[in-house]
Amino acid sequence: MSTAPRIDIDPAAFWQDPYPALARFREEAPIVFVPQLGSTLLCSRDDIFVSEKQIDVFSSHQPQGLMNKLMGHNMMRKDGDAHLNERKAIFPAISPKTVKSHWTTQFQAHADRIIAALEPKPSVDFVQAFALPFSAECLKSITGLTNMRFVDMNAWSQGMIDGIANYTGDPAVEARCNAATSGIDAAIDDMVPVLSKKPDLSLLGVMLEAGMPMESVRANIKLAISGGQNEPRDAIAGTVWALLTHPDQLALVASGATTWMQAFEEYARWISPIGMSPRRIAKPWRIRDVEFEPEERVFLMFGSANRDEKHFANAEAFDVQRDVSKSIAFGAGPHFCAGAWASRAMVADVALPAIFARLKHLRLVGPPRIGGWAFRGLLDLPVTWDRQA
């Protein structure tokens, strides 16, 4: 256990809105042990930026971690060559070139189809009606699991996310996670003969073509689903909400004064969909006056880093013209999100411009619910828009 100062939190309040507590931590104890989370939190942007690259100390290899136990040993929980080799194997599926030349056209087709189905409706929960199915349909394409239903993609992603954040050991949460991984394994089993015979640029296709062991194939597909569904879903709904509640910011994008990409990047800084990444301390270490012991757990709090007052003036504000170059919403070290290019294309190149072009005078019809700290997003987003005569 580290020697960091101890500060208690109310877990329910932290789930509802972690940002007041994180601001307090940055001011009073940027490295803090939180008993309710059983972990030491790194909350300053500079500490996280440096530590994430020190894989010999802040190791992603966590044999006893929930992700390994529940989802298998994926590349996110490997370091060094073991991580790099699997990252290289999947790169042909999610490289900037592949995203631009292959996936973006498919993303656009998914968006057009889903928006067309929305247009006659008087009002919708935009999370359920667009953000969720669009993210899932895109992920079905990228993973190669086109045999899945989009509702299962979302449910199984959420089941795994809840499972790997189940630090209180709730058996019902673990059971849902196990059901999700079993469903994904069955979908993989169905598609392996198809893609073995005719490989494509999907994640499953390129991993099979590379000869990756099946246990690693399964683990990395589950990794892609656990993060690749919720982050774009939450970023789409969240950025729409942010722009609708900040009409001056929406006007800047609509006028061309800034871009949809900038709006997305600012939202990911302002309310980071992935707010935390865990690490295992691999050897005795010290940061300033805080000492760490081997095998203890540390949380890198990306959500806190992205509101660090040392790097972001008026950090609590949503500002689409802000310099976001210091944001670490996608990570900062060797584990920088491999799906970042696909996520940016889905959200900023396709979803946001299509939504605001097709749904005229899009507006809220009620306040949304929002929650989470390790993963944070809108639970609903009630909206309406003007129908064409």
Query: What pLDDT digit, counting tens, does each position of 282-314 carry?
Result: 999 999 999 999 999 999 999 999 999 999 999
Q: What is the mean pLDDT of residues 370-380?
A: 94
The region that residue 292 occupies, defined by phi over 0 for left and psi between -120 and 50 for alpha, beta otherwise, is beta
- Structure tokens given for 203: 């994640």
Question: Is residue 63 scored above 80 in pLDDT?
Answer: no
Distance CA 177, CA 156 (A): 7
Distance CA 242, CA 368 (A): 11
Q: Quick one: pLDDT at residue 154?
A: 92
pLDDT digits (tens, 9 = 90+) for 334-374: 777 888 999 999 999 999 999 999 999 999 999 999 999 99
Q: Which residues, in sequence order, are bridge partners of residue 39?
A: 34
Q: Are strands 123-125 and 285-287 parallel, antiparallel or unpaired?
A: unpaired
Please, which pLDDT band fits residue 385 given cuts at 50, 70 and 90?
very high
Question: Is the separation of the CB atoms in 129 and 190 below 8 Å?
Answer: no
Give the SS3 label for residue 349. Answer: helix
Query: What count of residues does the chain have?
Result: 389
Question: Is residue 134 scored above 80 in pLDDT?
Answer: yes
Q: Are strands 370-371 and 363-364 parallel, antiparallel or unpaired?
A: unpaired
Q: What is the mean pLDDT of residues 4-25?
A: 97
Distance CA 305, CA 44 (A): 5
Radius of gyration of the chain (CA): 21
Please, which pLDDT band fits residue 132 given cuts at 50, 70 and 90?
very high
Q: What is the mean pLDDT of residues 166-173?
A: 84
Question: Is the separation of the CB atoms in 153 and 140 below 8 Å?
Answer: yes
pTM for the predicted model, two decimal places: 0.93
Q: Which residue's entry shows tokens 């500002």?
A: 319
What does pLDDT average to over the chain?
93
% of the chain exceeding 90 in pLDDT: 83
Distance CA 189, CA 322 (A): 46
CB-count burial class (<10 Å; 0-12, 13-18, 19+) for 219: buried
Instruction: Give Cα 327 to chain centroid, integer Å.
Output: 14
State the Cα angle at 220 between 170 and 234, rounded to 5°: 65
Q: Which of 68, 65, 2 is nearest to 30 (CA)?
A: 2
Instruction: Give Cα 65 to chain centroid, integer Å.
Output: 19
Adjacency order of strands within the sheet including 363-364: 123-125, 382-384, 363-364
Q: Which helix (H) or strand (E) holds 363?
A: strand 363-364
Give the SS3 label for residue 134. Answer: helix
Q: Quick one: pLDDT at residue 78?
A: 78
- Structure tokens given for 173: 């949460």
Q: Quick one: pLDDT at residue 322?
A: 96
Distance CA 159, CA 178 (A): 8
Q: Which of 288, 278, 286, 326 is nearest to 41 (CA)?
A: 278
Q: Quick one: pLDDT at residue 69?
A: 79
pLDDT digits (tens, 9 = 90+) for 170-195: 899 999 999 999 999 999 999 999 99
pLDDT digits (tens, 9 = 90+) for 198-233: 999 999 999 999 999 999 999 999 999 988 898 999
Q: Quick one: pLDDT at residue 389?
A: 56
Residue that wins the pLDDT comparison between 255 and 76 = 255
Question: Is residue 111 scored above 60 in pLDDT?
Answer: yes
Question: Is residue 256 scored above 70 in pLDDT?
Answer: yes
% of the chain exceeding 70 in pLDDT: 99
Distance CA 142, CA 130 (A): 18
Q: What is the mean pLDDT of residues 65-73?
A: 78
Please, which pLDDT band fits residue 119 given cuts at 50, 70 and 90?
confident
Q: Quick one: pLDDT at residue 309?
A: 97
Q: Quick one: pLDDT at residue 50?
A: 95
Domains and CATH numbers, the chain: 11-384 (1.10.630.10)
Distance CA 60, CA 320 (A): 33
Any long-range contacts for 242-246 (C-beta under 8 Å, 24+ apart)? 242/267, 242/270, 242/271, 242/318, 243/356, 244/362, 244/363, 244/364, 244/383, 245/364, 246/318
* H helix runs in the chain, sequence order: 11-16, 19-28, 45-51, 66-71, 80-94, 96-98, 104-118, 126, 132-143, 150-164, 171-197, 203-209, 214-228, 230-244, 247-254, 260-270, 302-305, 340-344, 352-358
